[in-house]
Structures are given as structure tokens and as C-alpha cells.
Amino acid sequence: MATTSRADKFTITSKQVEYYSDFLIDLDKNPLTGYLARVTNEESVKQAVKLLLLTERTERFFQPWMGSKLNGLLFEPNLPTTNIQIDQEVRMTLKNCEPRVKVEDVVVTNGQDRDVNDTYVTVVFSINNIPNKTFTTDVVLNRLR
Amino acid sequence: MANNTNLSASLNLTQLDFFGLKNSFKNYLRGQAQFKDYDFDGSAFNVLIEELAYNTYKNAFMSNMLMSEGFIDSAQLRTSLFSHSKELNYLPRSKRSARATVAVTFEASGVSQPYTIPKGAQFSTLIKSESYTFTMPETLSVASANTTFAFTTDIFEGVFVSDSFVFLGSPNQRFKLTNKNVDTSSVAVTVYEDGSQIGNIFKVATTLLDLTEFSKVFFLQTSETGNYEIYFGDDVLGRKPKLNSTVVVEYRVSSGTKGNGARVFSVDFDPTSSNELLATPKITTIEASKSAAEEEDNESIRYYAPRAFQVQERAVTTTDYEIALKADILVETGKDAEAIALLTNMARVVGSSVGRGRRIIKVIVGAR
């Protein structure tokens, strides 16, 4: 039978329930423990949303439907209609591939610097197991070279 | 972290399906509590699982393929079948050129007769609007008492090409024929030794019987790349060429069955070789081109290689004869002479006749 130390017995801990947990996408480790670092709950979902949006459709083996085609839209004319397409693409991707979130809003803004041609996408969403809260994830679309 | 781990479930990786493997990994991970997102497609853990599943899938596929290629019954790659055939001492048939028979008549002054018509002299024809070249298989000499010259010859579809090599002394040296469309029945090997301009002709050996260290023979086999290749004896079974000899391999490059059906030919060469023609040569087609064949297909190799090994160049039962004939030549395409010649090597041929559109060759089984 496990024994409890006095320190543990009298230390007040408000341990948060973990609904979701994942490791960091760069496989970074926890500097204190040396174990693989983890992200939990909303941070985990935020990471998953970003990962899905930046995954090119047909990129995953055997799952061509996975991901979005946002990178392809980078090469469309810089018009309001393209922003609408990005909006729809974000919503459709998350609806199809991420059952944990409900998209509340998608804000698409174009970079001010014409030479850089960035597009900023902010996704506002709520998470199923975390009621009455919304979260945001920012995705920057720009060309690689 | 490790204290909470309970990965007692065994990891089942025997499936060949990507999604089955992925589910196995997921089931395995249900025994731990540190990472819960493995079941969501967007998670980082899911990316890792998919990589593992894909890697396992590839390894499983690779193992399956390697095992398949290891047996003649299941091999799919032609080169694998060639390798298995080699173990069974069976040479898969190459393409075979279409053969036609023509009679050529020409008027010439006859000043420098007899005229020598070289091997490889070319005839042209059209088959289904496509041009094909037929060539003579051997050198021919033509003479006449007057100005009218005539000869009859078989001609074969395809032109002759040659590959030259230097023999470096090793009995393991292979001479790979560069063209895959070779008709192996036309391969001729000449070896020029000691810088001589006169070559020694080596003949193809199909059996080790009666071979000595003086036999000028070469062996034909398939290579690992699917080409045919030749090699020489080791001074025990077959004579080894001298060091630094030049080996010239001449062979016909065939178009296979596309060469069948040519009826009208024209001469592309001067039969006199010295502008002594008085009129354009006339050609009469005695027999239109036929008997061509594509290279032996995989299923045929799979069927005949073990059976040819079983027969071992002997013929005892009637089935042995059928296998020997079908493996070596295409009897059904009308190569009667070759069939009779082959049978004569194995049995006493006592009669040959044509009945109901088929050639019937009577042999005394077991006698030679």
C-alpha cells in the first residue's frame, strides 16, 4: 500500500482534470524532469488546430483528406474573396478533422507589407469539455522561400 | 511518469493494412495515461503513430515481397524468375525474329562474280504501314554462267548489332548483351586473340556433355538486370580465351511478333557490291514472314522451368517430348525443321507427315 508523506498530506493542490494531453510538436523535454514535455487541455487542442491547418491535404500517407489547402490559397489573388475562401477552408478542416472544437469565428487579415505577402489567420473556438470559454490560435501563412 | 504506465497489452503488428497497424498502436497506448490525444487526428502523437504505422507497413510489405520473390511460384519480378530459372538450368526464350523466304533474281555484268552477299544484307518491307528491316542470316555466294543471277534465302526480321568486349582472364567475367530485344538464336561470338585479324568462332553450348578444354564454346544465360549475357569456359569445360582477347558478340535485334505477315520485300543493297547491276533486282516472296515470337512470359517460365529441369534434356515419356519442344522452340508457329532436329537429338525419328493442319512427327521413344 502506498504511503503518503506529511508534505503531501498537508499541501493543498488544486489538480486540474486532464481531458487532453499531448507532447510538443518539436518533442521538447521538460527542463525540470528531463521527461518529454507535455501540453494539456486547451494548449493541446490549440496545438492540434494549428497542426491541422498547416498540414497540406494529401500530405499524410493513406489519408489524403486530412489537413487543409491553405497553403494553396497563398497563391490566389490578394482579394476579399480569397479571404472568404480561407475562412471556409479553416471551418471545413476543423469540422472534418478536429471533433473537439467548435469554431466561433475566423479572422483573416493580410500583411501590410506588400513584399512579404503574409496572411494572418486567427481562429476563435470553444472546446467541448471546457465550457464557457473561447480560445484563439494564430496561424501565419507565408511562402517558404 | 513511468509509474502510471500500464502497457500490458501486447502490440499486434502482424497486419498488412496501414489502418489496422495504426489501430494496434492506439490499442497499445490505451494502457497509459500520460498522453490522451493519440486518438485525435490533429495531435502530435497521432503524427508519430502514423509514422510508426507507415514504417511498420513498409517493413511488412518488404518482408512479404522478399518472401514472394524467393520462390518461383510467387515471384513477380522478371529478374527474380530469371534467377530461379538459372538454378534450374533453364534459359527463358528471348524474342524470335519473323522468318520469310524470298527468291531474288538480278541482272548483272558478272565481271567480278561470284558475288558475295554478306550476312546482314538488308531487305525492307511494310507491315501495317510500318517499315521493318529483314536481314540475311548467313553470307551467300552467287554465280551464274550468264548475266542472270538468282538465289533463294531465308531472311529474318531485325538488324544485326554487335557488342565488343575485352577478355580480362577471369572465368567469372560476364559479357552482357546491351540490347534486350536480342534474338538469342542469332548470337554469334568471335574471339580475336593475340591481336589477330582472324577470329575464332565460338559456338553456343547448351549442354556440358562432350565438352573438353579445347571446345570453343560459350554459355548463354540471363543476367540480374534482365539482359542476356555470355561467358566462357574455364579450360576444363570449354576453352578459355586468351588474356586481353577481343570478344565480338553479334546478334539480331528483333521486333518480335510485329514482324509477322510481311509479303512484299525490296532489296536495300547491291548484290554485286560493285555497281555491276544491269537492272533492279526482282524479288519473289516464296513464304511470307511468320514464326516470330515475343520473349517468354512470366507464366510460361514459371511452368516450363521446373519441368525442363525434370526432363534434364532426356526424353522418356511422350510428355518429356512435349516439354522439350515447347520450351525450346515454338512448334505451333511452324518450325517443323527445328522440331525434327531437336527430336533427332533425343530419339529416333522414323517419320514426319502433315495431317489435319498439324505436323505429326513419329519417333521411337527412348531410342536414339
Chain A nearest-CA distance from B6, in A, is 17
Tell me the DSSP string of B105-151: EEEB--TTPSEEE-TT-EEEEEETTEEEEEE-SS-EEE--SSSEEEE
Name the burial class of residue B144, with classes exposed (0-12), middle (13-18) and buried (19+) by CB atoms within 10 angstroms of its CB: middle
Q: Out of B19, B34, B40, whose CB is closest to A48? A: B40
All three cell numbers of B351, joined, read 517419320
Q: Do A97 and B37 touch (CB under 8 A)?
A: no
Q: What whole-number distance in Å separates Cα of residue B174 and Cα of residue B242?
A: 15
Q: Do B44 and A98 touch (CB under 8 A)?
A: no
3-state secondary structure of A131: strand
Chain A residues lying within 8 Å of B36, measured CB to CB: 18-22
- A91 occurs within a structural domain: yes
Q: Do B150 and B104 contact (CB within 8 A), yes or no?
A: yes
**Strand pairing partners for A110?**
A119
- A5 occurs within a structural domain: no
Per-residue confidence (pLDDT) for residue B335, from 0 to 100: 59
- The H or E element containing residue B83 is helix B78-87
- The H or E element containing residue B267 is strand B265-267
Q: Do A61 and B54 touch (CB under 8 A)?
A: yes
- Using CA coordinates, name the residue in chain B closest to A52: B42
- A128 occurs within a structural domain: yes
Whether chain B has a CB inside 8 Å of the CB on A54: the answer is no
Q: What is the pLDDT along chain B (368 residues), one digit of tens a residue?
A: 444 455 556 787 888 889 999 999 998 888 888 888 888 888 999 999 999 999 999 999 999 999 999 999 999 999 999 999 999 989 999 999 999 999 999 998 888 888 999 999 999 999 999 999 999 999 999 988 888 999 999 999 999 999 999 999 887 899 999 999 999 999 999 999 988 889 999 999 988 888 888 999 999 999 988 899 999 998 889 999 999 999 999 999 999 999 999 999 999 888 888 888 888 899 999 999 988 889 999 999 999 999 888 877 676 676 776 666 665 544 444 556 666 666 666 666 666 666 666 666 666 655 44
pLDDT tens digit sequence for A72-126? 888 888 888 999 999 999 999 999 999 999 999 999 998 776 666 788 999 999 9
Q: Do A51 and B44 touch (CB under 8 A)?
A: yes
Q: What are the backbone dihedrals phi and psi of residue B341, each rounded to the nearest 5 degrees, phi first? A: -60, -40
Whether chain B has a CB inside 8 Å of the CB on A102: the answer is no
Q: Do B199 and B248 contact (CB within 8 A), yes or no?
A: yes
Q: What are the backbone dihedrals phi and psi of residue B150, each rounded to the nearest 5 degrees, phi first? A: -150, 145
Q: Do B36 and A18 touch (CB under 8 A)?
A: yes
Which residue is it, cell 501590410? A112
- Using CA coordinates, name the residue in chain B closest to A99: B40
Look at chain A and report how many structural domains it folds into: 1
Per-residue confidence (pLDDT) for residue B368, from 0 to 100: 47
The chain-wide mean pLDDT, for chain A, equals 87
- A122 occurs within a structural domain: yes
Chain A nearest-CA distance from B1, in A, is 8
- A31 occurs within a structural domain: no
Per-residue confidence (pLDDT) for residue B324, from 0 to 100: 66
Per-residue confidence (pLDDT) for residue B348, from 0 to 100: 65
Chain B nearest-CA distance from A132, in A, is 22
Chain B nearest-CA distance from A53, in A, is 9
- A35 occurs within a structural domain: no
| Residues of chain B that touch chain A, judged by Cβ-Cβ distance less than 8 Å | 1, 18-19, 34-37, 40-45, 47, 50, 54
Domain span at residue A85 reads 43-142
Q: Which residues contact B11 (CB under 8 A, 6 or more apart)?
A: B24, B25, B28
User: Is 0.95 topped by the overall pTM?
Assistant: no
Instruction: Single out the residue of A125, A59, A60, A116 nearest to residue A90, CA to CA.
Output: A125
Average of per-residue pLDDT across A137-141: 91
Per-residue confidence (pLDDT) for residue B332, from 0 to 100: 47
Chain B nearest-CA distance from A113, in A, is 31
- A9 occurs within a structural domain: no
Tell me the DSSP string of B331-367: GGGT-HHHHHHHHHHHSEEEEEEEETTEEEEEEETT-
- A29 occurs within a structural domain: no
Whether chain B has a CB inside 8 Å of the CB on A44: the answer is yes
CATH value at residue A94? 3.10.450.40
Q: How far is CA B71 from CA A80, B59, B64, B89, B91, in A?
A: 62, 19, 12, 16, 17
Q: What whole-number distance in Å separates Cα of residue A142 and Cα of residue B12?
A: 42
Chain A residues lying within 8 Å of B45, measured CB to CB: 22-23
